[in-house]
Amino acid sequence: MFVRIGLCITMHFMGMFFGFAQSKTYELKGENDDDLYPYMRYWKEVSVSKKSLNEAVYQLEQGSFKTFDPKIGRNLGLFPEPIWFNISVKNISDNHHFYWWTFYSHADSIIVYEQQRSKWRAIDTLLRNKVLKERKAKHRALTHPLSLGTGEERNYLIKIINSRHTQNSFISLTTPTYHLLWENGFYWTIGSFIGIFLLTGAVSLIMGLVTRERTFMLFFVYMLTVSALTLYNELMIPIIKNKSLFSLLNHTHPLPLSLIATCLNFYMVDFIFGKVKNTKPLHTLNILNTTCLALGSIALVGYMLFTNSLHSGQTLFLFGWYGILACIFISIVVTALKIIILSIEYKKLYFGIPFLLLIIIVNPATYNLNYSGIFSFYEITYPNYFFWFVSGEFIFIVFLIGWRYKKDLEYRHKLEIKFNQMELSILSDERKQIARDLHDDLGATINTIKLLATNSYPEDKRLIETVTIASNDIRVFYNKLSHKTTDASLRASIEKLVMLHNSYKRVKFSCIFSGDEALLSDIHKENIYKIVSEICNNTLKHAQATDATIQFLIDPTTAQLIAEDNGTGFSAEKVQDVKGMGIKNVKERVALMKGKLHISSNKGNTTYIIDIPLKK
């Protein structure tokens, strides 16, 4: 019996010995960049209790703490209960050193316990919901400052409470000076990237408001989402001084943020490829992506509202977690399929393939999944090369959006020209019909009245003169309405118009024409003729002038029309009154040709200067 008791006691002490023997002491000598995970062991707490420290110490003594498997990595997955780390550190330097023990983690809180003689005491509590100025160590990540004398060795237990994110963290232990030297470079690098993201988003927002283009607004939301995701994952939120904004971002979650950003990529594909036919496959892909976007938005809002009530031990939380993961992959797949379909259909593989590779390999979702340790695509290093790729993606997308916007402007301009041609054709037909009615009906009636007045009342000169003026006016209207510039050269048409107005012997018109008429389109000719006709008619009726000059000059890039008269002129107010004196029609036709109109008028002189750009 005594032999059995002795054997049990021996095995107990051997268990304690081997339990502690599993831990390797991490030897410090000032500055270092070592990975601490080979020196640490961990234990997952099964249930939270007030005596969790005693349970952790007991499990440590029993050898239940495990070492990290290099094949699996640092990610311990989702776990709602606390996880305990154990590490022993020793300062082997000849000098006394201060150190910063930094935990790059999304943990809500970290409690540091130190073994003092035979007892474990809590020496520090690190909280994520504190801004930078409220923290003991002014660092973006949860940091515990410690001091070690020469040859001093300490044993620590770390309680990490991280119930809503994967248990994936990076831990460093080095001097504050070396740490801040490294951090300064990091701040500049990440700060520059976030600054570029926000600046690009702001420019996109302004362009969206000015042009009322939906894609620019979506790109602004995309930039905002990516910036928030970067701030969260790079633990930059504590540097935000505004407590409301700090609290808002601190209550977001990177998983739905990455889903929203990925879904927004889908809609930018529409704009980049231009107007596409909404076929059944594309319609199905659009429904799938819109559904994923809606679920991501609902998940983000729900998480922000109920953050403190959620944890990964709940069925609802796990359902949402894996549902969002599924939606991320669905969104990436449908976006990739859409790019493939449109690239093949519209034969635009030259930018479809690079865009496809960027969407699949480099996107906010892959960055977040890799950072959280869900999928390991690349090793996290600083400065992280991922941001260079993301910046390249943004530049590429911005280039494609700008290129597509330019194409859309050209397409709209062509549609506008086509619409204007149709409008001019309809107006021309209507005017010809009105001209025929004037000539055949009203013209014949006036001529009959003139004949009757001449025969019946030859002594009434005033009546005959009035009827003659009416007959001449109808002839003027007929010529104006029935004329079509494309039937003859513009020069011949303007010269004929000038001769017609000179025949009234009220104003002496002269015409100067110079340049190659072949540079003008039919639309140019039609509008220029109507403008000249309007100005001549305006001069004849209102200017009370005796002389007027029409100059039309054509060079390879610009056509210029200058019309002058020596009439009474009119005030600047009348110039602004677009309804008066036919100026409205002149302005509309100048605007139609993308030209510029300048009117100068005073007593004794009125000048119209019209500059019309010509395409080479």
Residue 293 is predicted with a pLDDT of 95
More confident residue, 95 or 476: 95
Residue 383 is predicted with a pLDDT of 45
- Residue-wise pLDDT for 21-32, tens only, equals 445 788 888 888
Strand partners, 147: 98
- Residue-wise pLDDT for 66-89, tens only, equals 988 776 667 888 888 899 999 999
Query: What's the helix, strand, coil split of the chain in %, to 5?
Result: 55, 15, 25
Report the alpha-carbon distance of residue 87 to residue 112 in Å, rounded.
11
Q: For tokens 């095995």, what's the residue?
A: 11
- Residue-wise pLDDT for 131-145, tens only, equals 988 888 888 899 999
Mean pLDDT along residues 252-266: 91
Residue 113 is predicted with a pLDDT of 95
Cβ neighbours of residue 250 under 8 Å, at least 6 residues apart? 128, 129, 237
Report the alpha-carbon distance of residue 23 to residue 39 in Å, rounded.
7
DSSP label of 487: G
Nearest to 282, CA basis, from 345, 215, 216? 345
Reported confidence tier of residue 13, pLDDT bands at 50, 70, 90: very low
Reported confidence tier of residue 7, pLDDT bands at 50, 70, 90: very low
Domain 19-174 = CATH 3.40.109.40: no
Highest average pLDDT, of 216-220, 275-279, 314-318, 532-536, comes from 314-318
Reported confidence tier of residue 157, pLDDT bands at 50, 70, 90: very high
Residue 447 is predicted with a pLDDT of 72
Domain borders along the chain are 19-174, 182-407, 494-616
pTM as predicted: 0.65
Report the alpha-carbon distance of residue 151 to residue 465 in Å, rounded.
125
Q: Is the pLDDT of residue 557 over 70?
A: yes
Residue 208 is predicted with a pLDDT of 79
* Average pLDDT of the chain, as a whole number: 80
More confident residue, 395 or 498: 498
Q: Is the pLDDT of residue 327 over 50?
A: yes
More confident residue, 324 or 353: 324
Report the alpha-carbon distance of residue 399 to residue 200 in Å, rounded.
12
Q: Is the pLDDT of residue 354 over 80?
A: no
- Residue-wise pLDDT for 415-472, tens only, equals 776 776 677 667 667 767 776 666 666 667 777 777 777 777 777 677 767 777 777 6
Residue 1 is predicted with a pLDDT of 41
Taken as a whole, the chain contains a residue count of 616
More confident residue, 332 or 438: 332
Contact in structure between 507 and 548 (CB atoms under 8 Å)? yes
Contact in structure between 103 and 161 (CB atoms under 8 Å)? no
Strand 142-148: give its sheet, edge to edge: 142-148, 97-104, 170-174
Q: Is the pLDDT of residue 531 over 70?
A: yes
Q: What is 494-616's CATH number? A: 3.30.565.10
Backbone angles phi, psi at 186, to 5 degrees: -65, -45
